[in-house]
Chains A and B, each alone.
Chain A
Amino acid sequence: MLRGRWLQWGITVFTLAVFLLVIVTGLFGTPAGNHNFGIVYVWLVWWALLKLLLVPLMGRFWCSVCPIPAPGDWLQRRAIITPRPGGKLYTVATKLLRRPGSAGARPWPKLLRNIWVQNLGFLSVALFSALILTSPLATALILLGFILVSLLVSLFFERRAFCRYLCPIGGFVGVYGQMAPVAVRVKDPAVCASHTDKACYVGSDAGYGCPYSNVLQKLETNTTCSMCGECLRTCNKDNIAFYVRMPGADLLDTRGRRLDEAFNGLMMLGAAFIYSVVLIGPDGPLKVTARAVGTPGWFIYAAALLAFNLVAVPGLFWLCVRVGQALTGKPKAVIGQFAARNRKRESLFADYATVLVPLGLAIWVAFTLSFTLTNLSYAWSALSDPFGWGWNLFGTASIAWTPYLSGMIPYLQVPVLLVGLIIAVALGLRTAHQHQQPSVAALPVSAFCALAVVGLLTLYMA
């Protein structure tokens, strides 16, 4: 089933149809968000599916059926379903430059082979989130922008460069996808080592090379794997498999983590707090200010959001790592070792940031629960009346707003947060041990995690 193309293609076509409806209803439908298909199905239905089910259970699987890169894929492949011989890809570079190798396409610039741009993209979206979440037109325009940029990028750069390096959603979906209990990995690395064809990377008659430019032999985490199944199709040694595993297995080795992914975790944590205060909190004028883009009040809000996400949260976390290091009482290095020491600090900071994956995911699940369950019933009326024009296509337009399980939300949030907290503390200690630090070094980071959970509980329950 995973090797077949029809299921994945079918889901992608369905999501593309929904996506186009979202754009059309956003552009031409009612501006009242809760009566507009675009707002209801993107920010309630899709977001709830993504955060509550897809990411925790399937990692980055959404990316493999996401409609945004689909048109670019089809253009680059010059095929809709069945691949061309050799899984060849075509870009403008193929025509103009006729470069040998990489199927003639241009590789993504080395300097940008990280998720910093995705982090910046997420922050930019976060600045306008109160507007985007409530304005169908803004949602439609931003999605239209995504699809156009994705299409443009696929014309010039090989594979899914947009998804891997630019998409603001792809960044955190990849980072949190490490918690998923499923993965696609090689069965025996020795087979890959002796296999020079690397059909999983370059493609073959059976399929395309990895759309995310992964060399499967080196793939160790779900961060850049959408489980699209291309490698399962192309590996002629049958050496790649779909695994069900312990949740969070990707995080067990905390060494050699990346700073861009660490910052993603920190920004996501900060954003969850900002959203919880602004959107779920009782301060009405703050909500209005956050939505009034361009006003002096909004600039203050934007500055506060940036300062909190880029300075306060990372600064506090950095301080915790440093205090942990100081608690170990190691002798100070001599001046000649300054650069090495700095490198180690940076590495420790990024490695300890693995705790933010289970913690952040739990916090985002709790945040998502706080508003999706109470508003999900708008999906019925929006389904029958997507434009808010008074239609009743499926007879569900008159179903009144009914909050689902609203009294149960705190009882769902608390266990999720506790599980996330326990895994985070355990990972903090594991990080210390894997860096030959005594357990005491993980105390400040554990306190940071506890503070984050208690802070969120206070925002929601006190």
Chain B
Amino acid sequence: MRETSRQGTSRQEPALSLPKGNRAIGTLNAAPAEHRRFSLRKAQWFAGGVTIALVLAALLAPLPVVGAPPQEQRITISAHTFAFEPGTVRVNRGDTVVISLESTDVVHGLYLDGYSISTQAEPGRPGELRFTADRGGAFHFRCAVPCGNLHPFMIGKLIVGPNLTWLRAVAASLIATAGALVVFWRT
């Protein structure tokens, strides 16, 4: 709503009695300030847009995947007392992975996130998983057969390299930080 003075005249329209110079100075000072604010706002929106675009590019842009030639990887994972050993397994994208799951205490399972495949093993009877590691990134594998109190947290990790998912996420975080700094920075 437009503010009005007690006399009913608009505040935005200077009284006629004011010296001309005052009005001119006020107008001259106000206009650049307003203009500066508008330009700043425009620059902020632009920087915000660029940041979002860069973050999306970092997360989604197709990248050439260069890695070792695919080969067959045979890995034996031992499961016992709420742990997989080794806890972290590294393969390359395109590799044919053969996991042999051996249990040394009770019945354990192995479910691989992202690939949605599973096997189980009991002492003396190993289980086997065979798949092509066609998706890059880190994937948790977890026990699929209740084996005790810490069962929900019996977790291992399969890293299919090059781990672009992690690199993309880290790059997006750094871009987001830099972008937020640029957008909200005041000189």
B169 and A283 form a contact (CB under 8 A) = no
**Contact segment of A211-219, A334-342, A420-428:** A420-428
Which residues does chain A contribute within 8 Å of B93, judged by CB atoms? none
Min CB distance, B102 to chain A, in Å? Answer: 15
List which A397-448 residues lie within 8 A (CB) of chain B. Answer: 401, 403, 406-407, 409-410, 414, 417-418, 421-422, 425-426, 429-430, 433, 438-439, 442-443, 446-447
Which residue on chain B has the smallest CB distance to residue A375?
B152
A426 and B83 form a contact (CB under 8 A) = no
Task: Say yes or no for A33: interface residue by CB 8 A criterion.
Answer: yes
B137 and A410 form a contact (CB under 8 A) = yes
Min CB distance, B59 to chain A, in Å? Answer: 7
**Contact segment of B30-38, B123-131, B175-183:** B175-183
Which residues does chain B contribute within 8 Å of A291, judged by CB atoms? 149-150
**Contact segment of B9-17, B63-71, B158-166:** B158-166
Task: Say yes or no for B186: interface residue by CB 8 A criterion.
Answer: yes
Which residues does chain A contribute within 8 Å of B150, judged by CB atoms? 130, 134, 287-288, 291
Task: Say yes or no for A371: interface residue by CB 8 A criterion.
Answer: yes
Task: Say yes or no for A32: interface residue by CB 8 A criterion.
Answer: yes
Task: Say yes or no for B4: interface residue by CB 8 A criterion.
Answer: no
A462 and B138 form a contact (CB under 8 A) = yes
**Contact segment of A94-102, A144-152, A274-282, A319-327:** A274-282
List which B125-146 residues lie within 8 A (CB) of chain A. Answer: 137-140, 142, 144, 146
**Pick from A35, A374, A410, A443: contact of B181, CB under 8 Å:** A443
Which residues does chain B contribute within 8 Å of A283, judged by CB atoms? 83, 87
**Pick from A135, A371, A422, A450: contact of B149, CB under 8 Å:** A135
Which residues does chain B contribute within 8 Å of A31, judged by CB atoms? 149
Which residue on chain B has the smallest CB distance to residue A443?
B181
B184 and A426 form a contact (CB under 8 A) = yes
List which A189-204 residues lie within 8 A (CB) of chain B. Answer: none
B180 and A425 form a contact (CB under 8 A) = yes
Which residues does chain A contribute within 8 Å of B186, judged by CB atoms? 429, 433, 438-439
- A: number of interface residues (CB 8 Å): 53
Min CB distance, B115 to chain A, in Å? Answer: 8
A418 and B111 form a contact (CB under 8 A) = no
How many CB-defined contacts (below 8 Å) exist between A and B? Answer: 150
List which A302-353 residues lie within 8 A (CB) of chain B. Answer: none
Which residues does chain B contribute within 8 Å of A34, judged by CB atoms? 146, 151-152
One digit per residue, 1 when the CB lies within 8 angstroms of any chain B CB and 0 when it does not, for chain A 282-303 equals 1111011001000000000000
A407 and B114 form a contact (CB under 8 A) = yes
Given contacts A371-B152, A439-B186, contact A287 B83 (CB under 8 A): yes
Interface of B is mostly: mixed
Task: Say yes or no for A461: interface residue by CB 8 A criterion.
Answer: yes
Task: Say yes or no for B121: interface residue by CB 8 A criterion.
Answer: no
- B: number of interface residues (CB 8 Å): 51
Which residues does chain A contribute within 8 Å of B80, judged by CB atoms? 284
A33 and B151 form a contact (CB under 8 A) = yes
Task: Say yes or no for A457: interface residue by CB 8 A criterion.
Answer: yes
Given contacts A32-B146, A407-B114, contact A450 B177 (CB under 8 A): yes
Given contacts A134-B149, A291-B150, contact A282 B177 (CB under 8 A): no
B159 and A462 form a contact (CB under 8 A) = yes
B155 and A281 form a contact (CB under 8 A) = yes
Which residues does chain A contribute within 8 Å of B187, judged by CB atoms? 439
A422 and B140 form a contact (CB under 8 A) = no
A453 CA / B170 CA spacing, docked (Å): 8
Task: Say yes or no for A449: interface residue by CB 8 A criterion.
Answer: yes
Which residues does chain B contribute within 8 Å of A450, judged by CB atoms? 173-174, 177
**Pick from A285, A371, A426, A462: contact of B166, CB under 8 Å:** A462
A460 CA / B170 CA spacing, docked (Å): 12
**Pick from B115, B151, B176, B185: contact of A439, CB under 8 Å:** B185
A7 CA / B116 CA spacing, docked (Å): 42
Given contacts A410-B165, A457-B166, contact A284 B84 (CB under 8 A): yes
A447 CA / B186 CA spacing, docked (Å): 18
B87 and A430 form a contact (CB under 8 A) = no
Which residue on chain A has the smallest CB distance to residue B153?
A279
A425 CA / B154 CA spacing, docked (Å): 35
List which B1-49 residues lie within 8 A (CB) of chain A. Answer: none
A426 CA / B179 CA spacing, docked (Å): 10
B170 and A422 form a contact (CB under 8 A) = no
Min CB distance, A209 to chain B, in Å? Answer: 38
Which residue on chain A has the smallest CB distance to residue B145?
A401
**Pick from A130, A414, A433, A449: contact of B169, CB under 8 Å:** A414
A31 CA / B149 CA spacing, docked (Å): 8
Which residues does chain A contribute within 8 Å of B173, judged by CB atoms? 417-418, 421, 450, 453-454, 457
Min CB distance, B92 to chain A, in Å? Answer: 15
Which residues does chain B contribute within 8 Å of A447, judged by CB atoms? 177
Min CB distance, B87 to chain A, in Å? Answer: 3
Interface of B toward A, CB cutoff 8 Å: 55, 59, 80-85, 87-88, 111, 113-116, 137-140, 142, 144, 146, 148-157, 159, 163, 165-166, 169-170, 172-174, 176-177, 179-181, 183-187
Give 10 pairs: A residue, B residue, CB < 8 Å, sorted on A.
A31-B149, A32-B148, A33-B149, A280-B153, A282-B157, A284-B83, A284-B87, A407-B113, A422-B176, A457-B173
* Known interface pairs A287-B83, A401-B144, A462-B138; 16 further A-B residue pairs with C-beta atoms within 8 A, sorted by A's residue number: A32-B148, A35-B146, A135-B149, A282-B157, A284-B80, A284-B85, A401-B146, A406-B111, A406-B113, A407-B114, A417-B169, A422-B177, A425-B180, A429-B185, A457-B173, A461-B138
